[in-house]
Amino acid sequence: MTRDWHEWHRHYDDPESGLSRRLVVVRGALQGLLDAASAPVRLVSICAGDGRDTIPVLDSSDATVSGVLVELDPELAERARSAAPAGIEVRTADAGTTASYADACPADVFLACGVFGNVTDADIARTVATLPLLLTSGGQVVWTRGNNVPLDPTSHQGDPAELVRGLFADAGFEEVAYVADDAAGFRVGVHRWPGPTGTPPPDVQTFDFV
């Protein structure tokens, strides 16, 4: 484990924390995608934590959703597993390789929340470049990037979320939504893949947490 992710999750206990405010935005983005869905939705969430950004939204949605949440920490994964609705599998596994979830793709909705602030710029680039292979045509990615991350691994000068947005644009994605909250220290993006449905690579290494 790269840091104490249990301690990190405790920031959610304060409803006024930046993380709690980010959670509202992420849930809203996911809710919007599910509301707009006219067919069953295939969902994948990498580095899913205890699943609080997905599970309550799935519980309150009328959409039919199946898919996989991937979380390395066994205790957090178990918390998510015990709360997950039918159709959602929680895997205690390394989300840095597509081997952990390629069989659940191509996805209609893919969450990468709390990932890009913990990996190198090269790994962000590798992950974003791999996403078209992991998505259906029209599939959407909800991602986050902190702009005030302690020991931020980026070499990018300026707002690191701009690097992420640029990488999505370079990979051919369309930006659907972007929220930047400077006071709370987060950015949330939603990007849509307009190309053909991908063929998921069975075992590609995309990132390692630093």
Ligand X SMILES: C[S@@+](CC[C@H](N)C(=O)[O-])C[C@H]1O[C@@H](n2cnc3c(N)ncnc32)[C@H](O)[C@@H]1O
Q: What is the binding site for ligand X (CB under 6 A)?
A: 5, 8, 47-49, 52-53, 70-73, 76, 94-96, 113-114, 209
CA–CA separation, 203 vs 103, rounded Å?
A: 10
Of 76 and 184, CB closest to ligand X: 76
Give min distance, CB of 127 to ligand X, in A: 12
Give min distance, CB of 195 to ligand X, in A: 26
CB under 8 Å to 3, separation ≥6 — which residues?
none
Give min distance, CB of 179 to ligand X, in A: 14
Fill in the amino acid letter for 18: G
194 dihedral zone (left: phi>0; alpha: psi -120 to 50; beta): alpha
Of 62 and 203, CB closest to ligand X: 203
Question: Which residue is nearest to ligand X, using beta carbons?
Answer: 114
Of 16 and 62, CB closest to ligand X: 16
Give min distance, CB of 12 to ligand X, in A: 7
Of 73 and 108, CB closest to ligand X: 73
CA–CA separation, 135 vs 109, rounded Å?
A: 8
Q: Which residues of 46-80 are buried (b: 16+ CB within 10 A; e: fewer)?
A: bbbbbbbbbbbbbeebebebebbbbbbbeebbebb
